[in-house]
Amino acid sequence: MKLILRENYLNRLINVIGTPDIKIITGIRRSGKSKLLESFKNYIQQAIHDSNIIHINFNLPEYEKLMNYHDLYEYVKNKYKPNVTGSNAFLLSSDLATLFTGRTFEIKIFPFSFTEYCEYFQYTDQYIAFDKYIFEGGMSGSYLYKNIEDKYDYLNNVFLTLVVKDIKQKYKIRNAELMDRIINYLMNNISNLSSYRKISSELSKNNSLINHKTVGMYITYLCNAFSFYEIKRYDIQGKKYLSSNSKYYLVDTSFRYAKLGTKDLDFGRCIENIVAIELLRRGYEVYVGTLYKKEIDFVAIKRNEKLYIQVSDNISDESTFKREVDSLLRIKDAYPKILLTRTKYIEYQYEGIRIIDIADWLLRK
């Protein structure tokens, strides 16, 4: 399989070498966590001549016996070399079980971004590439398959493994049929505001009563497994976070087409989903904005930076364009306001609002 160097993630690991925190890489299955660790291992071997690397892959049967933390501790202790510089000396300072409850440094990894997708396939026309990316997504394991149906079969198997192995077994879920219905609902309603009560009410229409607390619990499991991300609401005028209703975005839009088919394409929702994940990938806190009963697709915050973003598949219709910019024009502060859409033109402005082609924006660092 062709590999590309995911420099953003690798550099984050390199920059925290020597810090005492335990580095944790999180993300959905098959998103590249193991490959990232291999790249990091190679870097250490080349850059730190007296490094002491202890590599354990729990996916391999020979390491299954180390699932007990006492055995893991003994294994690490026996492999540790005294008088080696670097940050792994702290492994002997206390029991590993206690150590893992302390300070950690998390690196959140996502499927391939559009930039990585273009690099992998060497696309030079970003507009053609983006049309393909909507359907093919960023799960690079699927790139090995030439036929789109084979790609979707692979993606279905990945998602099935995620649900069966990582969720149903871990949480001992008995109602597998309900979990599947919740997944279908969330995939069908990406970009729509939802609540546990609303979802339970919708799923109960076939006369089977479903408790909203159970729905909430199952959705929490799905988010904990990095298959969906919850985006909460933010009151722009009152500058406060709202607890009622959220949006749930799928980690990669290709899973939606693989599971539900392509009969209901709904490009607008899928493009909004792509933007949501990209903002999270870039390290923003992301919220759904509300202002005078109007909705702003995203309020993205990072330290002192704030962006207001609307997303639309097509603004060629005048009424659609007016609707999208009207919500942004109601915001009176000076933070940047952006409308992302498929213009296939260079960036321009309308009354201070930046109109940017979605593919161009995704390719910007």
pTM comes to 0.90
- Residue 105 neighbours by CB under 8 Å, 6+ apart: 16, 19, 21, 22, 23, 24
**What does the mean pLDDT of the chain come to?**
88
- Tens of pLDDT, residue by residue over 166-190, are 888 888 888 889 999 999 999 999 9
- Please, is 279 exposed, middle or buried when counting C-beta atoms within 10 Å of its C-beta (0-12, 13-18, 19+)? buried
Mean pLDDT of all residues in 291-312: 91
pLDDT-based confidence at residue 89 (cuts at 50, 70, 90): very low
Whole-number pLDDT of residue 328: 94
pLDDT-based confidence at residue 102 (cuts at 50, 70, 90): low
pLDDT reading at 88 higher than 60: no
Could you tell me how far CA 238 lies from the centroid of its own chain?
28
Mean pLDDT of all residues in 316-329: 92
Sorted by where each starts, the structural domains of the chain and their CATH numbers stand as: 7-108 (no CATH), 114-363 (1.10.10.10)
Whole-number pLDDT of residue 218: 95
Runs of H (alpha helix) within 189-309: 196-203, 212-224, 253-260, 267-281
Tokens of 167: 């969720």
- Tens of pLDDT, residue by residue over 21-72, are 888 888 998 999 889 988 999 999 899 888 888 888 887 889 888 888 788 8
Interatomic CA distance for residues 107 and 262, integer angstroms: 33
